[in-house]
A and B are shown apart, each in its own frame.
Chain A
Amino acid sequence: MLSNRHLLGLKNYPSQDIQTIIDTAFQFKEVLDRPIKKVPSLQGQTIVNLFFENSTRTRISFELAQKRLSADMVNFSGSGSSLKKGESLKDTVQNLAAMKIDAVIMRHSVPGTPVQLTKFIDAVVINAGDGTHEHPTQAILDMVSLQEKFGSLKGLKIGIVGDMLHSRVARSNIFGLTTMGAHVKLCAPPTLLPSDLGGFPVNISYSLDEIIDWADSLIILRLQLERMGQTLIPSVREYRSFFGVTSERMKKHGKPLVIMHPGPMNRGIEIDSDVADSNQAIILNQVLNGVASRMAILYLLLSKKNSEESDRDEQKLK
C-alpha cells in the first residue's frame, strides 16, 4: 500500500504515498466521530512507543491511534535513557526486538537514530521526531489539516515562521508540502536558519509582513529556547517585535490567514493568545487530525503486514 516499509522522513517520500496517507486519514477521522471509536484493524499487533525524549502530545496521539486500532502497545520513555548507563543504542533496541514486536515508534534527541534502528531490528519503524532532523507524522497531520481547509495542497502558499534551525517540524513540512505542490517561504532571522539552505526548495524573507501578504497559511514554530545552547537572538522582546505573530500585526493586515502551530506554544512570544484562540487558528483541528493521521500511517504500514502473514498462513494450510 505504501512503497516504503518504514516512515523515517518525508525527504524523497513519494507524493502518491503522502496522498494515500492523507486520504486514509480522512476515512479514520470519520471513525473518530462515531460513538464507539474503535476498529479491530491492528488486533494482535504489538507496537512499542520508544520515547527517548520527552513528549506529551505526540506520545498521547500515537497511543490513542494505537488503542483505536486495537493494537497492543508498550510504552518506554526516559530522557537520557539507558544509553547514559553505558548501554549502546543497539543493545537497548535489540533487547526490545527480542520480545517480538511488530513496530517501533521512536523519538530521540539525535538525528538519524530511527534510521540506525532499522539496521538493528526487524520491525516497522516510525519516526516520531529525531532531534532537529524530521518529524514526518507532524507534517502529515499538518497537510491533512491544510487539505481539509483548502481542499487541495497544490499551489498553496505556506509561510513557516520562526526557529527553522532547530525545527524538525519545519524540515518535514518543507519536504512534504513542496512534494505535494505547495510553495514554502521561511521567515526567521539568519541566526535561526541553517547557513546553507541549498538543499531546500524554499525562499526566505526577513519580513513577516511580506510573508503575511503573500501566504495562504502560516505555520508558526516554537522558539526553542531550550535548544539554544548559545544566544541566537538578542532578546525575546526583539524577536517578538520582528517575528511575533501578534494581534496588532494580524489586525493591521486584516487578512483571513489560516494559522497553524505544532505546539507547545509560547503564548506571547511567537504567537499572541488572541491569534492562537481566534477563528483563524486551526491549532486544535491539528491535534484531532494528528490522531487520525497516525491511525492512517499505522494502518497502512502494519495491516499490510497482517495480510502478508495471513497469506503465509494460508500457504502453510495448503
Chain B
Amino acid sequence: MILKKQPSSILLKDGLILDPYVKKTYKGSILLKNGKIDKILKQDYPQDATVFDCKDKVITHGFCDVHVHFREPGREDKETLETGCNAALSGGFTRVCVMPNTDPPLDSPESIRFIIEKSKNLPVHVHPIGAITKSQEGRVITEMGGMIKAGAVAFSDDGIPVSNGQVFRLACDYASMFGVPTINHAEDPCIRRDGVMHEGTVSAELGFTGNPDIAESSMINRDLEISQLTGVHLHVPHVSALKSIEHIRKRLELNQNITAEVTPHHLYFNHESIRSFDTSFKVAPPLRTEKDRLGLIKALKEGIISCIATDHAPHTIEEKEADFNEAPFGMIGLESCFGSVYKVLKNEMNLLEIIKLLTVNPRKVMSFETDLFKKGVEAEITILDPNREWIFGLDYIKSKSRNSPFIGESLLGMVNGCFSKGNYFFLS
C-alpha cells in the first residue's frame, strides 16, 4: 500500500456506486475536486481529471470503526497512531475511534488534545474516546465536558469493566447532559474470574478456567437498566453472547436509546479454535459457541446489533508467544475486517446492508456525517472488489503487530483503494 497525495481533480470512473446513506446501488462515476465530492456522473467526463478505473469495483463510503486500540501513548512498540492509521486505510477505514486504555490513559482534556494534535496530519480521521473514570480506576468520573471540548466523542474504560454500578450510574447521569454515548466493557469481574476462554465444553476438556456468557450478559443487563434510568445513549461494545442479545432486543422494543456492535472475529470463529492452543485466539470477551456465533449473525440481520467494530488490539509477538494463561487478550482486525465479514455474511445479507454496518450505522453511533456522497463533503471513499478471494497473510498487515487469527484464512472481498484526508491508495 503506497499512500499518495490526491490530485486536485479525480474521476473514479465506471464503478458500481453503492451509497449506504440513500440505500441505492447504481453504475456511475464520482468526480472529486480538491478532496471534496463534486458530482456523480454517468457521461460527459471532464478532460482534466486524473482517472481511476473502477470497472467491476464497488465505490462506497469509507468505513468507520468505533472501536480500535492504537496504543499511543505508552505502548508504541505495539502500535502508533500512524501505523494504526495505515492498518485502518488498508482495511478500507477512513475514520476510527481510539479507545483510552493507553499508558497513561486518555482521562483528561490534555490527553485528548494530544491525540487530536498527533493525528491531525494522519490520513485517517482519528477520534479519541475518553476514559469514564480517572486513571480507569473505576472510582472518580473524568472531566467529560472539557474532554468533549477537546475532541472526545464518547466515554469508556474499555478493557476494564466499570464494575461499581453506582460509579457507572453517575457517569451515565453526567454524560447524558452532553448527548454523547457511554460504552462499558461488560464482563462482571467476579463471575469472569481469571477465565481465559469461554466456559463450556471446550474449556472443560482443555482444563482452562472458563469465562461464562453470563459474565457479559448480566453486566449488559445492568448497563441497560442504568441507561434507561439516566437516559444516556448506551453503546454496547463487542457483544459475544446470545444471552446478551436477548437483553438488548427487549430494550430496543422499548425504544431505548441504545446501540450495539459486534467484532469480525466473534462472527467468524468459535471456541473450538482454542483447541489449537494458539494464543492469537485469546480475546476478551472470548470466542463463544457456534450457537452464539449464529445468534450474532441473526442479530445483525434483525438490526439488534447495528454495527461492526474490529476491537483492533495489537500486541507484540513476544507477548503472544507466551503460554495461554500469560498471553494478553486481543487481536488485530482492521486489515482482515471486510474480507472476513463479507465471507460470513454474504449469504445472509445483501452487500448494501453489509456495507451499512461498516459505514452509516457506526457513524450514526458517534453522530458523524453520514451523507458522504453529497456535494461538498470531504471525500471518504473506499473501493472494493467484493468477489475477490484471497488468503490473508503477513503481507497484508500494516499494523505494527501481527497477532491475527486470520493469517492463513481464505477471505472473500478485498479493499482496493481508499480516498481519505487528501491522500489515497489505489490498486488497479
Contact = CB atoms under 8 A, between A and B. Distances in A.
A210 B49 CA distance: 85
A120 B204 CA distance: 26
A197 B204 CA distance: 7
Contacts of A83: 322-323, 326
B324 A112 contact: yes
B206 A133 contact: yes
Contacts of A131: 207-208, 325
Contacts of A229: 193-194
B288 to A, nearest CB: 12
A199 B204 CA distance: 8
B400 to A, nearest CB: 18
Nearest to B205: A199
B295 interface: no
Interface string B99-125: 000000000000000000000000000
B277 A115 contact: yes
A231 interface: no
Interface in A169-197: 171, 194-197
B202 interface: yes
A104 to B, nearest CB: 15
Contacts of A200: 204-205
Contact of A196 (B194, B204, B324): B204
Contacts of A88: 318, 321-322
Nearest to B199: A195
B287 to A, nearest CB: 15
A116 interface: yes
Contacts of B212: 195
A30 to B, nearest CB: 35
B393 interface: no
Interface residues of B, number: 23
B207 A195 contact: no
B323 A116 contact: yes
A131 B324 CA distance: 11
Contacts of B202: 199
Nearest to A120: B321
A interface: dominant SS: loop
Nearest to A8: B277
Interface string A213-245: 000000000000000011000000000000000
Interface in A154-171: 168, 171
Contacts of B138: none
Contact of A110 (B193, B200, B210, B325): B325
Interface string A7-29: 00001000000000000000000
A132 interface: yes
Given A111-B206, A116-B277, A134-B207, A196 B201 contact: yes
Given A88-B322, A199-B204, A112 B194 contact: no
Contacts of A108: 323
A113 B203 CA distance: 15
A198 B204 CA distance: 9
Contacts of A110: 323-326
A232 B323 CA distance: 26
Nearest to A11: B205
B203 A112 contact: no
A13 to B, nearest CB: 13
A54 B207 CA distance: 18
Contacts of B323: 83, 89, 108, 110, 112-113, 116
B207 A168 contact: yes
Kindly state the interface size class of chain A when it binds its partner.
Answer: 20 to 34
A196 B208 CA distance: 13
Most A Cβ at <10 Å: residue of B194, B202, B207: B207
A133 B203 CA distance: 9
A132 B207 CA distance: 5
Contacts of B322: 83, 88-89
Interface in B321-356: 321-326
Nearest to B289: A196
Contacts of B208: 111, 131-133
Most B Cβ at <10 Å: residue of A88, A109, A133, A171: A88
B145 to A, nearest CB: 41
B321 A89 contact: yes
Contacts of B207: 111, 130-134, 168, 171
B321 A194 contact: no
B188 to A, nearest CB: 15
B408 to A, nearest CB: 14
Contacts of A109: 325
A11 B207 CA distance: 12
Contact of A199 (B201, B210, B277, B325): B201
A175 B132 CA distance: 48
A111 B277 contact: yes
B332 to A, nearest CB: 19
A54 B23 CA distance: 63
A61 to B, nearest CB: 22
Interface in A99-117: 108-113, 115-116
Interface in A67-88: 83, 88
Interface in A106-150: 108-113, 115-116, 130-134
Interface string B198-227: 011111111110101000000000000000
Interface string B274-293: 00110000000000000000
A182 B152 CA distance: 63
Most A Cβ at <10 Å: residue of B199, B206, B318: B206
B206 A112 contact: yes
Contacts of B324: 110-113, 116
B319 to A, nearest CB: 8
30 contacts: A83-B326, A88-B318, A88-B322, A89-B322, A109-B325, A110-B324, A110-B325, A111-B206, A111-B207, A113-B323, A113-B324, A116-B324, A130-B207, A131-B208, A131-B325, A132-B207, A194-B203, A194-B204, A194-B210, A195-B200, A196-B199, A196-B201, A196-B203, A197-B201, A197-B204, A198-B200, A199-B201, A200-B205, A229-B193, A229-B194
Top 7 closest A-B pairs, CB basis? A112-B277, A194-B204, A132-B207, A133-B207, A110-B323, A199-B201, A198-B201
Given A112-B324, A130-B207, 14 more contacts: A83-B323, A83-B326, A89-B321, A110-B324, A110-B326, A111-B206, A111-B207, A111-B208, A112-B206, A115-B276, A133-B206, A171-B207, A194-B210, A199-B201
